Structure 1
């Protein structure tokens, strides 16, 4: 599922919940799951960058550039 499709799905869930009078409960559940998911993939702060599912240790643009170049080179092998 793309990020756009996932976002659209969440909006649909929240709209249905609002119509059924359970918006706050549904929102709390979605946020709790998001926190669990983010912790599971290693997000510790924002912004957190990933290159091919590998977390970037800092927000240094040179490090990001180096990591992307390395991943592209690996892909092209």
Structure 2
């Protein structure tokens, strides 16, 4: 398996780990994913505001959940910034 295929598989597995059975991330699941996998801070008022804003921004279709396509777009965007 190529490095790209491994990376794509890992991205899918991380999403599924936190999305549980419904295949979507609610706000708490997204917060847990971001704090665990990326080391972002949560818990105090300011950090919670940031998490709330991230959730609203990632929930592009305003469904109240972050679906895989929205998550994948986020990962790709962050990856582009890391490359710069």
Tell whether the structures are fold-level matches, with TM greater than 0.5: no
Structure exhibiting the larger radius of gyration computed from Cα positions: 1
Larger RCO: 1 or 2 (CA < 8 Å, sep 6+): 2
Decide which structure has greater helix share.
2
With normalisation by structure 2, the TM-score equals: 0.32
With normalisation by structure 1, the TM-score equals: 0.34
Decide which structure has greater strand share.
1
